[in-house]
Amino acid sequence: MSHIVCLQMLFVLVAGQPVSARSVVAVVDERIDSGRDMQRLEEHAREEEARQRRREAQWRWEAEEAARRQRERDMWMSDQLERSERRPPAPNPPEPQLRSFLSEDKTLMVYVLDQERRADLFTYPDMAYVAKLGEGVTQVRFGKDAGGQDALFVAIEAGKAMSLFDRKGQPYGKGSRSPNGKQVVLILGKEQRAQLSSYPEFKPVAQLGAGVAEVRYGKDRDNDKKEFIAAERAGGELGVYDMKGKAYGRGMMREDGRLAALVLGEKGTARIVLYPSMESVALIGKGVREARFVKDPLNGGREILQADYQDGSRRLFLLNGQPYGKTLSRSQEEQAERLSAMESGVRRAFEAAPSELGILAR
């Protein structure tokens, strides 16, 4: 009933004109649909406005983040720039330097490039290349072979090693400096002549003889630790000289090269030493003329030291310096020599005709 009243009232109100109820319903539905459309439009507008606010917030965050990162980069660059200004500039790498060494007669020159320390030999003054002398060179010196018609040679030092070359750049020998650094023993030429020279002047002091394979230095414990030179020759023989090149004794190396027997000074003091360090093992005694290592044929070939004294006597020692307890007489030596010769003869005959000896034995 109320709906009808409403419709009647609406009927009266619509343009003041009489209309049918169906027309009124249509108008109402249209108005309702229009209201719903407006509502949807408003909701859409609100959603669009919310999305716009979110986009603007995202843009602001991205802009602020980009600005933050830029500030951090600027601060890092500023810090690096400040550090680089505080840090001293890196030095430029040194340019390779070329050192030159001219011989006294001004006929040879050696160039050494510091970077590689390579030594090259040239003639002077035309600067014709002769030969490469070596690498790792720390010093170059020129000297003369007093025993070889004053032949000029070049000495190059690489660490503790010293190598010698002739005018053509060919190997000419080697050198060994003394522990005190004031002398050097040079082994020169094919004859292996040992020349004692001053160092670093390379002035000849004395000739120590030929056939020297190596030189060693030592100290005489029984003579205020006087320094001496031991020149090693073929067969294990040692020539001993003082630091002025004068004869100071003699010695003999053991076959394995690990020990040496030395007789030093005017008193003929004999010692067994380690070789090549020259450290003392045992004192044999004084008044010794010669000492050498031998084998006792009567005791399985045991190796001992035989010391011949200046008074003509002979004594035997163990390698630790203890007396051996017996001495070979001349008759025993002759007997040992005959036995050794007989054994050698039998051995040679057996090697020559073993089958014939076997038949005779049967």
Same domain membership, residue 361 and residue 311 = no
Q: What is the CATH number of the domain that holds 252?
A: 2.40.128
Q: 301 CB contacts (<8 Å, ≥6 apart)?
A: 295
Percent of the chain with pLDDT over 70: 77
**In 3-state terms, what secondary structure has residue 313?**
coil
Task: Specify if 335 maps to a domain.
Answer: yes
Residue 1 falls within a domain, yes or no? no
- Cα–Cα distance for residue pair 38/40, rounded to 1 Å: 5
**Tens of pLDDT along 118-138?**
999 999 999 999 999 999 898
Residue 120: what pLDDT? Answer: 94
Q: 287 and 237 in one domain?
A: yes
Average pLDDT over residues 219-232: 93
Shared domain check, 250 and 169: no
pLDDT at 35 over 70: yes
Q: Distance between CA 247 and CA 229 in Å, rounded? A: 9
Residues 249 and 308 in one domain: yes
Is 90 inside a domain boundary? no
233 pLDDT tier (thresholds 50, 70, 90): very high
Does any domain span residue 56? Answer: yes
Query: Are 102 and 124 in contact, with CB atoms under 8 Å apart?
Result: yes
CB 100 within 8 A of CB 111: yes
Sheet bearing 302-309, strands edge to edge: 288-296, 302-309, 314-317
Is residue 113 domain-shared with residue 198, that is, in the same domain?
A: yes
Residue 13 has pLDDT above 50, yes or no: no
Residues 110 and 196 in one domain: yes
Q: Find the domain containing 336 and state its range.
A: 330-362
In a 3-state reduction of DSSP, which class is residue 168? Answer: coil
